[in-house]
């Protein structure tokens, strides 16, 4: 066998060695993280539950998931050990590192129309071209609308009478295909 035939196999073995080496480093880092857990640390399990560590044993971890709720997990079930700030931000919604001069995205759209110098922006509204009040019709307009309705009713009764007159006549004979046309 020549070196050219063995070269693809050598490259494949080298790539496998590099991949297993990086995976082994990740496993060692995860094991080190789990071993560095101490009581009072905030954790996230691989199932996504957040809790506080109460006790660390050789293979297990006792966590406090809430008032009166203590759970026992295998150390391998701990997905991440969180910093205090990160745990408080996720679990309690406490933000410690907000900058006061940075722009904050509002929770609702009502604050988008406010300006810094406008204190009574709730009293002012944006005109969108629609009227908020219903226009009242006058008596003359109401009478005209009723007259139009009466004319429409009369026209309908005339059409019904004409239809009745047509039915009294003898029906037309068809060849059967007229409905399909």
* Burial (0-12, 13-18, 19+ Cβ within 10 Å), 78: buried
Mean pLDDT score, 80-105: 74
pTM: 0.44
pLDDT at residue 142 greater than cutoff 80: no
State how far the alpha carbon of 144 is from the alpha carbons of 61, 137, 158, in Å.
Answer: 84, 11, 21
Confirm if 45 and 77 have CB atoms less than 8 A apart.
Answer: yes
The tens digit of pLDDT for each residue in 115-124 reads 555 555 455 6
Mean pLDDT score, 53-57: 92
C-alpha distance across the termini of the chain, in Å: 84
* Burial (0-12, 13-18, 19+ Cβ within 10 Å), 6: exposed
Mean pLDDT score, 8-36: 89
Half-sphere exposure of 54 (CA within 13 A, CB side): 13
pLDDT at residue 94 greater than cutoff 90: no
Confidence bin at 63 (pLDDT 50/70/90): very high
Mean pLDDT score, 7-29: 90
pLDDT at 96: 61
């Amino acid at each position: 066998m020549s070196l050219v035939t063995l070269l693809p196999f050598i490259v494949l073995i080298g790539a496998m060695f590099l991949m297993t080496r990086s995976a082994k480093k990740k496993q060692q880092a995860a094991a080190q993280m789990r071993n560095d857990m101490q009581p009072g640390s905030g954790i996230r399990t691989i199932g996504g539950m957040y809790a506080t560590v109460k006790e660390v044993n050789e293979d297990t971890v006792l966590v406090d998931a809430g008032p009166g709720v203590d759970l026992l997990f295998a150390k391998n079930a701990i997905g991440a050990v969180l910093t205090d700030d990160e745990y408080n931000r996720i679990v309690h919604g406490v933000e410690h590192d907000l900058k006061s001069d940075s722009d904050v995205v509002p929770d609702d759209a009502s604050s988008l129309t406010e300006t810094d110098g406008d204190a009574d922006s709730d009293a002012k509204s944006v005109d969108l071209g629609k009227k908020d009040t219903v226009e009242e019709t006058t008596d003359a307009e109401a009478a005209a609308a009723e007259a139009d309705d009466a004319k429409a009713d009369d026209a309908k009764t005339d059409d019904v009478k004409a239809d009745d007159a047509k039915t009294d006549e003898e029906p037309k004979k068809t060849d059967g295909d007229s409905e399909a046309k």
